[in-house]
Each structure stands twice: as structure tokens, then as C-alpha cells.
Amino acid sequence: MTHMHVAGAIHADVASPAPVWLTRPDDVNELTTKLWSSNTTRETDGVISIGGVKLTELAEQVGTPAYVIDEDDFRQRARTWREAFEGWTLYYASKAFISTMVARWLAEEGLSVDVASLGELTVALRGGVDPARIAHHGNNKSEAELRVSLTSGVGRIVVDSSDEITRLERLCAELGVTAKVMVRVTTGVEAHTHEYIATAHEDQKFGFSIGGGQALVALFRCQNSPHLELIGVHSHIGSQIFDTNGFEVAARRTLKLFAQFREATGSELPELDLGGGFGIAYTKEDTPSSAADLAAGLREIVRHECAGYGLNIPRLSIEPGRALIGPAGTALYRVGTVKPVELGSGFSRRYLSVDGGMSDNIRPALYAAEYSAALANRTSTAEPVISRVVGVHCEGGDILVRNEFLPGDTGVGDLLAVPASGAYSRAMASNYNHTPRPPVVAVNNGRITTILRRETLDDLLALDAGLEKSES
């Protein structure tokens, strides 16, 4: 399982130096393989290297903080998932992280892309993704983004409300086109994840309810529309999910809907998208399933449920995002302040303040998500000490790594690397405290390539209309 507290429990562990699941390492310099990209090593001089690039050299060239993407690792994961799910369509969930370069990688590796905004759609198109291989999501798509989707020839639009169906029909009539659509449904599944990233229970904003009957009505409406081509059903149960248990219930309820539709119309829906949400390891204790195990489990679930309802197996698709880009990414920081804090009862915790924070990774503050960290610029013979990695922002909850054993001599100027930072870090980054966002660089075979450059204060000031008026 993953180790998330409720969002507000920032100080829940103040009475003890470490949570019960965090164990003292035998060797504080050892890198836990499952947490890091496949081309991560600790060199003989103690420096962590990714993709043939030492992180000390990278810090000198691009500065800190920085996001580092192991290009080869990302591509290998894309291939592994594509091979494991042979015969399925894999839509990369671009909300995890997208850029034109990443879009090109995806196109080259034969993956499709899902988008949930005009920005994501534009980046995917500019990155060379075939529009026919794009799925357009969102609970409140604007006319502007629907218009771009329709005129560019996007392969499918996942409709999320009656209002959207009305909007889409009107635009199709105006443009003289037919839109291929899937109906987003809520299955009532309570995924074992944080409340904010569970997306299939009834009381939330996404989709048409199966249990309430709205999903079947939406299917009938799309089927009978002269402007829409109904191609199937889309479901999504949440994020950071480690096994197929929740998917089993979702598939059963969704395929029952398929059977009801066939009974009412005499035809079977051709496609089923089971969504994404596949988890990764952020800590040593996390145990996500492999792509092969997930594929085998989901195949059997669909086969069994289709047999039970007497349905043909539909064309199937899934939407991994975090599972591909998350482990491929590492965040790199430099320590600026070290502060020991006495907790009482003989307990203490060492706070390591780095040059980033919640502006470049909001997940620990938003979900109380757990991360790991390692000293990146050297090895150490010092004893492991329970430490908390915090940022530069004016918030008590500005925590990047809540608890980690790090060498007791970690000090000012040292580099810290946080693995599994490729998903939902730069994608959710902000300019809080007017902080420019870090760069994203790819490393591969000893080369550093800029994916997104570092923001500057000039970038931020360029948006400030008041400055223009004061200078005029």
C-alpha cells in the first residue's frame, strides 16, 4: 500500500522521530532500486549518476532545483507497458507531465495520448502526436477547446455531462463534422487511495452515474445523435492504485452496463477504457504491481465478466501516466540550512531546508504524499539520522520529504536527490512566493537536453501589466 495520511495531518507524527513503516537502513548510501530510474547508479566517487550524467555536473550546468528525466528509462517503460498490454491501446495520461519533447517520445514509441485541457491538446499536437491517437478528457470542456479538438481531428472525445453533449452536438452541426465519443461513467468504486484522487465514487464531479441510471441515458442519447458516433465507455477509479481489485468491481459494473445497452438497442458497444491510476513506488514500503501482472489481471477480469454477460470482449484501452514518467524523473535540490529541532521526550528531528519546495512539488502538502531522498554528491560514513526535507516557502506545511534516514553529516551545500518525481511535480508546479519554476532536463548516454528551461524573474514580470503602466 501507499503511505498517505489525510491531507490535514501534517503534524500527526510530531511525537515520534519516524513513522513505523520507515526502517533504519543498513547502508545509508545504498539506492533502493525500485525507487530510481533504471539508469541511476552511485559512482565510485560517491556521486549519483543518471543516464550517464553525474548530478554534480548537472547541478553545475543547469543549477538547482531541477527536474531530471531519464529518457531511456521512460522509453523502456513505454515499451514494457505496450508489450504487456499487446492488443490494447495505451493512452499516456499527459496530466502527469507533458512537453513537446515528451510528446515526440510517445509518438515514436507507439503510444497514444490523453489530454484534459486546451494547453495539453496544443502541446500534444505541436509535439507531432497523430490527432487520431488523442483522447480528449475534461469535466468542463470549453467551446474553444472542443472546437480545436473537432477541427484537428482528435480521435475521441470523452463526454462528461449532458451540457457537454449539447455543446458538442451544436459545434458538430456548425462545423459539419461527426465526433467520435466515449461516455465517462462513475462506477461507485471506492479506490484505496487519497480522497482527492479517488475518481469513481458517486459524490464527485466526473462522469455519469451507472447506479443512478444517468449513464445509460447518456449512451442512448449519444447513440441516437446525428452528430455523434458512440464508440464506447470510459471509467476511471482513481490514482496511485497498486492492484486490480478495484478494477474488478469497476469492470463488472461497467460491463453490466454494456449488457443493458445491448438488451435495449440490440447492438454491443465496441470499446471499453478502464482508465489509469496505476501506482509507483515512492518509498521502500510501496509495492506496486508490474505491468505484466496488471495486464494479466485486467485481461482475466474482462474475460470473466464478458463471459458472464455473454458479451464479446470489446477493444480495450488504459491510461498510464504516473507509471511511465514518475520513476523516470528525479528532483535535485541543494541544502541551504540545517536545523535540529527538539520534539520533547528525548526525540529530535533534523530539518534540511533546500532551494525548492511546495512550488515545485505540491503533492506532500496537498495529499501528505510520502517521498524518499538520498545524498547525491558524495557518500558518507556518518550514522543515519531521521531528517525532514523542507522548502523555502512561508508555510509550515512546505515539506518535500516528511521523514527519511539521511547521513548525519548532511550539510549546507550538499545535493539531495528525490526519486520518483517525474509525475505531478512540474505538472502541478506554481509560482508561489513569486518563485520561478525549475527547468526540466532529459539525460541520456551522458548528454543533457533541455525539455523546459528554467523560468526567470523576467518571465514572471512579463505578465505584470502594472509594471508596464508604472514605466510608461
For the stretch 279-294, pLDDT in tens is: 999 999 999 999 999 9
For the stretch 165-197, pLDDT in tens is: 999 999 999 999 999 999 999 987 665 443 433
Q: Where among 325, 357, 389 does a domain terminate?
A: 325
pLDDT at residue number 249: 85
| Residues ≥6 apart with Cβ < 8 Å to 245 | 192
Domain assignment present for residue 16? The answer is: no
Q: What letters, b where the CB count within 10 A reaches 16 and e where it falls short, cover 250-264?
A: bbbbbbbbbbbbbee
pLDDT at residue number 386: 93
Range of the domain at 143: 71-325
Domain assignment present for residue 3? The answer is: no
Question: In the structure, what pLDDT confidence band is assigned to residue 305 with cuts at 50, 70 and 90?
Answer: very high
What are the backbone angles phi and psi of residue 345, rounded to the nearest 5°? 55, 25
Coil vs helix vs strand at 131: helix
- Residue 326 has a CB neighbour count (10 Å cut-off) of 28
For the stretch 226-247, pLDDT in tens is: 999 999 999 988 878 888 887 8
pLDDT at residue number 2: 42
CATH of the domain at 285: 3.20.20.10
303 and 390 belong to one structural domain:
no
For the stretch 388-440, pLDDT in tens is: 999 999 999 999 999 999 999 999 999 999 999 999 999 999 999 999 999 99
pLDDT at residue number 331: 98
Question: In the structure, what pLDDT confidence band is assigned to residue 470 with cuts at 50, 70 and 90?
Answer: low
Alpha helices in 89-130, H assignment, sequence order = 100-108, 118-126
307 and 216 belong to one structural domain:
yes
CATH of the domain at 418: 2.40.37.10
Coil vs helix vs strand at 2: coil
Number of domains forming the structure of the chain: 2
135 and 283 belong to one structural domain:
yes
Q: Is the peptide bond before 314 cis (omega within 30 degrees of 0)?
A: no
Percent of the chain with pLDDT over 90: 83
pLDDT at residue number 193: 44
Cα 248 from chain centroid (whole Å): 22
pLDDT at residue number 190: 60
Catalytic residues, which ones? Answer: 394
**2 vs 23, 80, 121, 274, 286, CA distance in Å?**
15, 23, 31, 21, 6
pTM of this prediction?
Answer: 0.92
Nearest CA to 419 out of 335, 332, 338 is that of 332
263 and 298 belong to one structural domain:
yes
**Mean residue pLDDT across the chain:** 92
Question: In the structure, what pLDDT confidence band is assigned to residue 362 with cuts at 50, 70 and 90?
Answer: very high
Q: Does pLDDT of 9 surpass 70?
A: no
Residues 179 and 105: their CA atoms lie apart, in Å, by 27
269 and 185 belong to one structural domain:
yes
- Residue 123 has a CB neighbour count (10 Å cut-off) of 20
Q: Which of 147-156, 188-197, 344-353 has the highest mean pLDDT?
A: 147-156
Q: Does pLDDT of 5 surpass 50?
A: no
What are the backbone angles phi and psi of residue 431, rounded to the nearest 5°? -105, 30
Domain assignment present for residue 470? The answer is: no
Q: Work out the burial of residue 45: count CB atoms within 10 Å of its CB; fewer than 13 is exposed, 13-18 middle, 19 or more buried.
A: exposed
Q: Where among 305, 325, 345 does a domain terminate?
A: 325
Q: Are 47 and 374 in contact (CB under 8 A)?
A: no
Q: Work out the burial of residue 27: count CB atoms within 10 Å of its CB; fewer than 13 is exposed, 13-18 middle, 19 or more buried.
A: exposed
267 and 391 belong to one structural domain:
no
Percent of the chain with pLDDT over 70: 92
Tell me what the mean pLDDT of segment 463-472 comes to.
78
pLDDT at residue number 203: 62
